[in-house]
């Protein structure tokens, strides 16, 4: 690919991605901490050192909001990754239409498009992966390898320190290539250790950024030990220990099915079949491209093995290590460019001696790959361009009187407040922190604002720290998702509408904070301001939390049920937690058929949801005609998560209802053994 062609391709790819670039000041998934000002890459292990430096450069662009400028950085990274796909295919003899079509296929992917249009870390991951592959491509002429190899080494080091999947995928490839070329006396191999040290020096960005706001960090990487813990994502591994490397084969199968479905959306079902077939062809057919010389065959074999290794690592990571990230499409983004490379290389080799067939094969291939992928990703532009996330945060800030202590629980609001405070300088009068982080160092502020942290430092458990922070603050206190999570023991409610916050005046004793029923006007207020499905899911999740708290605090099942019915009818019926909670309330009031229907709907959306499986098993076990299905559901819940005592207890109940006393006793003993 010539320099001119590369620049034109980059400009077009950048323009395509920037059309859907997020205009807001930050963009959040419903379950992932995203852009949070200068803390981006620090708050969430393993961190992404260096990205914030790129984002800060974008602030100099006289174009749109700061959030839009930062999103353009990700657009540029994504465009560069797509162009590198075309550049690598050009090395292998691909025609201009083929390499442009391969780049277009990459850009059409849903995961690729979304993550390259918002302020997130995954566009950088893809760009680093493609630079590393470009630099270590065996097809580069030996005389020209030093520069690309060193650049690829730098990209691989940066990627390995920042992303767990790329660490597993790239580190062995780079080490093997370096060792072989070191023995052969290649120049780049002698310089590679210096590049590794230089690339690793960027790690200093993490503790430097953390110093300014440690209470917002998940890892707090301010010492060598804590930095290493942060890079190893120990807090994530501990928090999701039950989901990482699941012990049940059923869970592996469920995760694999979910991952396969997302890949089919990204590549299009025909594209997924083509990519799989092309990779197998390159691995098991020797020489797969027909007659070739020995060097070409060695190059083909090395490339096929390298790409197969990366695909295998990525799939293993998606299915077994980080299945939690699939819902928000935080995994699998690099598989789109890899698929385009694999299919492009096969087509280039096959069409090389048959140029006339290209006029028929290439349009057909483009139609079955780019077309289905684009149909799935084009509507997502409305999602990435939504102003819902900053509107959500501003709605929370607008409710708070001066001097309020705000304790958050969700990643959405925690990140939004961090960004609003650090980047925009909004509401300097507020004292806020994630409630889970009250054990961290206090911010360097005046004593009045430090008081909640000083009080919390004397407490032991998370619940005690929350109570201590509230008692240590004089003035208004606001809690997100009161009576839930780490605030489950704080009996605290609000008479405010808007964003579901519990707001009251602290008198030094959290037990005296008034408890009042929350109004139902939040839906009417927010629906016009949350235009996309993902925005509405944010509202539905928050209102479901409010409804659960209402039951816990006041025992008001009817009020909570009315709230959840409005959520399902007017907001969205695609949030399983809302459906499961509403079903449970309906069942308590004797409406079992409605409970069954709602829970079935939740399982359609999330087939492996444990609470939905066990609840539906309970509902169906009451009717002799449906007990066999109830038993199957309970057994599936136990097979998916055999480490949870509650699934075995439910299985015991269902077996007892079916008349299997010995089986019930076995299940009960299994569950009790897990409690010891």
Asked if 118 and 384 count as a contact pair (C-beta separation under 8 A), the reply is yes
List pLDDT tens digits, range 492-531: 655 555 677 877 766 555 554 444 444 457 788 888 888 8
List pLDDT tens digits, range 63-86: 888 888 888 999 999 999 999 999
Helical spans, DSSP H, in 438-512: 447-456, 462-471
pLDDT of residue 399: 83
List pLDDT tens digits, range 26-58: 554 333 333 333 334 345 667 788 887 788 788
Given a cut of 90, whether residue 582 has pLDDT beyond it is yes
Given a cut of 60, whether residue 129 has pLDDT beyond it is yes
For the record, the structure tokens of 347 come out as 């087509």
Given a cut of 90, whether residue 225 has pLDDT beyond it is no
pLDDT of residue 517: 43
b/e per residue, 381-411, with b = 16+ CB within 10 A? bebbbbbbbbbbbbbbbebbeeebbbbbbbb
SS3 string of 136-193?
Answer: CCCCCCHHHCHHHHHHHHHHHHHHHHHCHHHHHHHHHHHHHHHHHHHHCCCHHHHHHH
ω into 287 cis (within 30 of 0): yes
Q: Which residue has the higher pLDDT, 159 or 451?
A: 159
> Residue 408: which region, alpha, beta or left (left: phi > 0; alpha: psi -120 to 50)?
beta
Instruction: Give the Cα separation of 599 and 604 in Å (integer).
Output: 9
Given a cut of 50, whether residue 231 has pLDDT beyond it is yes
In order of start, what are the domains of the chain with their CATH numbers?
3-383 (no CATH), 388-512 (no CATH), 529-675 (1.25.40.10)
Q: What is the pTM of this model?
A: 0.89
List pLDDT tens digits, range 370-418: 999 999 999 999 988 888 888 888 888 888 888 889 999 887 788 788 7
User: Can you name the residues that pair with 501 across neighbouring β-strands?
Assistant: 480
pLDDT of residue 97: 94
pLDDT of residue 568: 92
The tokens 């897990």 sit on which residue? 674
Contacts of 546 (CB under 8 A, 6+ apart): 481, 500, 518, 563
Given a cut of 60, whether residue 154 has pLDDT beyond it is yes
pLDDT of residue 299: 82
For range 198-206, the mean pLDDT: 86
Closest CA to 519 of 488, 498, 540, 492: 498
The CA-atom distances, in angstroms, between 246 and each of 320, 325, 329, 498 are: 7, 15, 20, 39
Provide, rounded to the nearest whole percent, the portion of the chain with pLDDT above 70: 91
pLDDT of residue 28: 42
Q: What is the mean pLDDT of the chain?
A: 85
Say which DSSP state 507 is in. Answer: -
Contacts of 116 (CB under 8 A, 6+ apart): 17, 74, 75, 77, 78, 79, 122, 123, 126
pLDDT of residue 508: 55
């Amino acid at each position: 690919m010539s320099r001119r062609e590369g620049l034109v391709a980059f400009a077009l790819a950048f323009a395509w991605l920037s059309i859907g670039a997020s205009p807001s000041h930050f963009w959040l998934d419903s379950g992932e901490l995203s852009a949070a000002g200068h803390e981006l890459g620090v708050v969430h292990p393993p961190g992404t050192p260096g990205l914030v430096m790129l984002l800060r450069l974008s602030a100099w662009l006289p174009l749109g909001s700061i959030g839009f400028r930062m999103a353009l950085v990700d657009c540029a990274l994504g465009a560069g990754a797509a162009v590198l796909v075309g550049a690598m295919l050009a090395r292998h003899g691909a025609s201009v239409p083929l390499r442009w079509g391969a780049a277009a296929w990459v850009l059409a992917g849903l995961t690729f498009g979304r993550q390259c249009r918002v302020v997130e870390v995954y566009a950088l991951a893809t760009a680093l992966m493609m630079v590393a592959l470009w630099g270590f491509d065996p097809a580069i002429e030996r005389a020209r390898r030093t520069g690309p190899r060193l650049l690829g080494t730098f990209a691989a080091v940066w990627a390995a320190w920042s992303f767990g999947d790329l660490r597993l995928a790239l580190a062995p490839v780079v080490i093997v290539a370096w060792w072989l070329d070191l023995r052969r006396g290649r120049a780049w191999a002698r310089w590679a250790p210096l590049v590794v040290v230089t690339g690793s020096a960027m790690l200093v960005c993490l503790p430097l950024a953390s110093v300014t706001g440690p209470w917002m960090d998940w890892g707090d990487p301010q010492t060598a030990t804590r930095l290493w813990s942060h890079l190893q994502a120990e807090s994530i591994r501990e928090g999701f220990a039950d989901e990482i490397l699941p012990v049940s084969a059923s869970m592996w199968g469920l995760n694999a099915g979910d991952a396969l479905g997302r890949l089919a959306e990204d590549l299009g079902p025909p594209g997924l079949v083509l990519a799989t077939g092309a990779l197998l062809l390159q691995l098991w057919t020797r020489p797969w491209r027909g007659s070739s010389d020995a060097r070409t065959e060695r190059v083909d074999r090395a490339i096929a093995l390298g790409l197969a290794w990366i695909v295998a690592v990525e799939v293993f990571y998606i299915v077994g290590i980080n299945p939690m990230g699939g819902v928000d499409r935080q995994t699998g983004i690099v598989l789109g460019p890899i698929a385009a490379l694999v299919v492009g290389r096969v087509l280039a080799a096959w069409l090389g001696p048959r140029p006339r067939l290209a006029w028929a094969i290439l349009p057909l291939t483009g139609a079955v790959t780019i077309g289905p992928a684009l149909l799935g990703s084009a509507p997502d532009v409305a999602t990435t361009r939504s102003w819902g996330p900053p509107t959500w945060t501003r709605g929370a800030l607008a409710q708070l009187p001066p001097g309020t202590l705000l304790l958050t629980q969700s990643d959405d609001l925690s990140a939004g407040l961090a960004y609003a405070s650090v980047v925009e300088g909004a509401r300097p009068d507020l004292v806020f922190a994630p409630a889970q982080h009250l054990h961290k160092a206090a911010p360097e502020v005046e004593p009045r604002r430090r008081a909640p942290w000083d009080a919390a430092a004397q407490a032991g458990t998370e619940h005690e720290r929350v109570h201590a922070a509230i008692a240590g603050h004089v003035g208004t206190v606001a809690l997100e998702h009161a009576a839930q999570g780490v605030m489950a023991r704080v009996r605290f409610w609000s008479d405010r509408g808007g964003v579901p916050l519990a707001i009251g005046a602290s008198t030094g004793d959290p037990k005296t904070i008034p408890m009042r029923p929350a109004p139902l006007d939040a839906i009417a207020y927010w629906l016009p301001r949350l235009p996309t499905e993902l925005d509405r899911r944010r509202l539905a999740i928050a209102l479901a939390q409010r409804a659960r708290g209402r039951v816990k605090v006041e025992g008001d099942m009817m009020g909570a049920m009315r709230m959840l019915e409005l959520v399902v009818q007017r907001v969205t019926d695609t949030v399983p937690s809302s459906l499961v909670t509403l079903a449970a309330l309906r069942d308590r009031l004797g409406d079992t058929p409605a409970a069954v229907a709602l829970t079935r709907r939740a399982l359609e959306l999330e087939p492996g949801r444990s609470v939905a499986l066990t609840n539906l098993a309970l509902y169906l076990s009451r009717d002799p005609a449906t007990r066999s299905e109830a038993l199957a559901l309970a057994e599936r819940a136990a097979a998916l998560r055999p480490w949870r005592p509650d699934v075995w207890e439910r299985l015991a109940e269902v077996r007892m209802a079916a008349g299997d006393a010995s089986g019930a006793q076995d299940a009960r003993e299994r569950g009790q053994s897990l409690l010891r």
